[in-house]
A and B are shown apart, each in its own frame.
Chain A
């Protein structure tokens, strides 16, 4: 078992009522920690796709995967390794812009190639999509200005194409 703490699992589940409750209930009652969870329907309406980032410090990954697999509505589980996958996350944040710091924050936003979605009186709303590391770095920068409100989507991921 690798010593990586956070593992990304892509879980294909039947698109049925209560499936998310089954997954989250399982994590809660077995003491498995979820770092992030993203869920949406797939191109096939019968199935949804969950991207779960699991904290393997709370329980061995093998147990997490096998217990998940016991859920009747779970169809397929795939672990995506960082080397062979692409991860993206989206952040939305409302940030304070104190007088005199307007230019500075705009330069930071440009350097991340982030977007300004709304501008108000000494506040702006920004967004950025990128790797989880980029999003972490961006959020750290925003914190130096003062974050009013922030929402991250959690990671979604796909395998890279091997040629």
Chain B
């Protein structure tokens, strides 16, 4: 049966199980938007292409299914570069379809032409330029396979306009079902090597100060249950990186929370003083290690990852286990059980009491609110945490509010925390929350945002209202680019350079209302909880709460950039050794 590129595009997206796409039409993608009308796929019309990309990411984070974005050529494709880079660094499965100028005009600097595959080469796991309409079914089949297997990531498909234009003879071809993949160079290793597993088990038995260092790979591999089983079997504490918040329940006795630059003292110090890091789906990011040469100097390293390029990239490993981290943990549990029949674990009691001591001495703290001050952002987050369902999904932007959200929320379930970890994309929260709500409509979705971030992408609240995604946005409005302000205070002698934003402009309440949302302003502590409760009750439209927070508030603990994790600065009230 004859088909055409446009029809085939929709049919093959449907065949991949795609239910929703985020996008915005334009010249070069126009012919593909016509068959969309007859498709079962829901299209969410965004207000800026970057929003479509982050929505697709939010959807993927919340559901585990690949997010899909469709936009046109030229500026639409360049607007997509940020979400692609974000998805690349955080290993988010994303398929992005971009229109391209007609085949015959490629390379002629045509209207809205840009070299999309050239530009996005460095920020995608792979990209395709379709050169023949007949390739479309196979390319879509391959693109979803690449995006979702191995180490997940973004894949872009660039399709010239004529190849999806039903009226153009070059778009016609004999329809077919792709069978198998045309990817001779792509065979991710999923099954772990059992000898490596044995070697890892032996190291664990010898260790007196082990820590499980768990990263975003746990969530990508859907291995949170296995991680819990392993931790409980071994009775070893678990740190969860920023990308794995929720991958191990914060209310578990073995949970140490987030390590790194703004990690809590115990998580940072346990990694630092450990003699064995059981690294599961984590990548020794500089925000976790601090000064690499001084990171966990006495620790041997077990490193399990689906991507072998992570081994020895930052830190030399003692045992590397390539494969799916869920399968790795399952095999590791077996190996440990077997070994337990003949051997016993080293004595770890001293280490455990050391960890409890740190937990007791250095909890996360902040100063009491004083009359005349702005709201304490940490307190706002705690009250949100305590007055929302336990499985609430939280999306965040990037900066102080992101760190406080990660620190003070309790993530007890996987896939409840959605943020931009690797790229650090300001403006991520609003569209990511919308994408999460699209994927999980039955769940409550809150975004914790900063005023700087909110001003980058808030126009997508119009999308949220019109498309009926009743997300709730908490803007922690301190009138500053707060994290930059904090660095200027601490490291630039309080010389504040271009960080003041102005808390009253825009008027966040009016801005929210103008976009069809409920707008609430909260200025005093007693109004915080009622406002959260009011927002929780609203399910027919988005809500924006403008929380007026204290501008001088800093995020603690903190490891200054380039310093060793041994030099962690705790909250001033907990005393810092000179």
Contact = CB atoms under 8 A, between A and B. Distances in A.
Contacts of B146: 72
A18 B129 CA distance: 10
A22 B118 CA distance: 9
B313 A63 contact: yes
Contact of B121 (A25, A60, A76): A25
A75 B184 contact: yes
B350 interface: no
Given A18-B117, A18-B129, A29 B122 contact: yes
A60 B312 contact: yes
Given A63-B312, A66-B308, A66-B309, A72 B185 contact: yes
A89 to B, nearest CB: 27
B186 interface: yes
Interface in B204-230: none
Contacts of B117: 18
Nearest to A22: B121
A67 interface: yes
Nearest to A18: B117
A112 B109 CA distance: 50
Contact of A70 (B121, B131, B307): B307
A79 interface: no
Interface in A53-72: 60, 62-63, 66-67, 69-72
A14 B185 contact: yes
A4 interface: no
Given A18-B118, A18-B121, A29-B122, A70 B183 contact: no
Nearest to B307: A70
Contacts of B308: 66, 69
A161 interface: no
Interface string B290-312: 00000000000000000111011
**Chain A: interface residue count, which band?**
20 to 34
A74 B185 contact: yes
A73 B183 CA distance: 8
Contact of B186 (A13, A17, A63, A72): A72
Given A14-B185, A18-B118, A22-B121, A72 B126 contact: yes
A63 B307 CA distance: 12
A63 B117 CA distance: 24
A21 B308 CA distance: 23
B548 interface: no
B244 to A, nearest CB: 22
A62 B312 contact: yes
A60 B312 CA distance: 9
B20 to A, nearest CB: 26
A22 B122 CA distance: 8
Given A63-B309, A70-B309, A17 B121 contact: no
Contacts of B184: 14, 75
B125 interface: yes
A63 B312 CA distance: 8
8 closest A-B pairs by beta carbon, nearest first, are A66-B309, A75-B185, A72-B126, A74-B185, A75-B184, A72-B186, A67-B309, A29-B122
Interface of B: 117-118, 121-122, 125-126, 129, 131, 146, 183-186, 307-309, 311-313
Interface of A: 13-14, 17-18, 21-22, 25, 29, 60, 62-63, 66-67, 69-76
Given A21-B121, A29-B122, A75-B185, 14 more contacts: A13-B185, A17-B129, A18-B118, A18-B121, A22-B121, A25-B122, A60-B312, A66-B308, A70-B307, A70-B309, A71-B185, A72-B186, A73-B185, A76-B185
